[in-house]
Amino acid sequence: MRHSSSPVVPTSAPGIKPTLACDGQTIAVKAGAVVVAVQRVNARAFRLSIRYGSTGAECDRLSRSFPAERSARHAARVAVRLFRSGQSMQQVSDLADLFASTSG
């Protein structure tokens, strides 16, 4: 389980609009029973974090790092839409595994 003490910019919009300008800055969106967050690690590293809303525990299988903010935001938008449409953590995890196994 990981916990973050970095600044969080809450938003309810699926577009995750605020820009991540500072290292450590996080944008978080509530999506059903989970919280989807994108954190700027540095100018070339962004982290997607999916956390259980009730416990705050991170789902390691769905959390990933990206080299570009655009990629991390896209993954976050997809995750938000899936969770808001009623998909469970297991269903989204299985879908992510399926796409990972068919790419590249």
Q: pLDDT, tens digit, for every residue of 54-75?
A: 899 999 999 999 999 999 999 9
Contact between residue 84 and residue 102 where contact means Cβ atoms under 8 Å apart: no
* 91: helix, strand or coil: helix
* 2: helix, strand or coil: coil
Residue 84 and residue 75: Cα distance in Å, rounded? Answer: 14
Task: Please report the DSSP string for 4-49 in residue order.
Answer: --S-EEE---TT--S---STT-EEEEEETTEEEEEEEEETTEEEEE
Token reading at 86: 């009623």
Residue 3 has pLDDT above 50, yes or no: no
Q: Is the pTM of this model over 0.85?
A: no
Instruction: Say how far residue 62 (Cα) sits from the centre of its chain.
Output: 8
Contact between residue 2 and residue 22 where contact means Cβ atoms under 8 Å apart: no
Q: Which fold has domain 8-102?
A: Viral Envelope Glycoprotein; domain 2 (3.30.67)
pLDDT value at position 2?
44
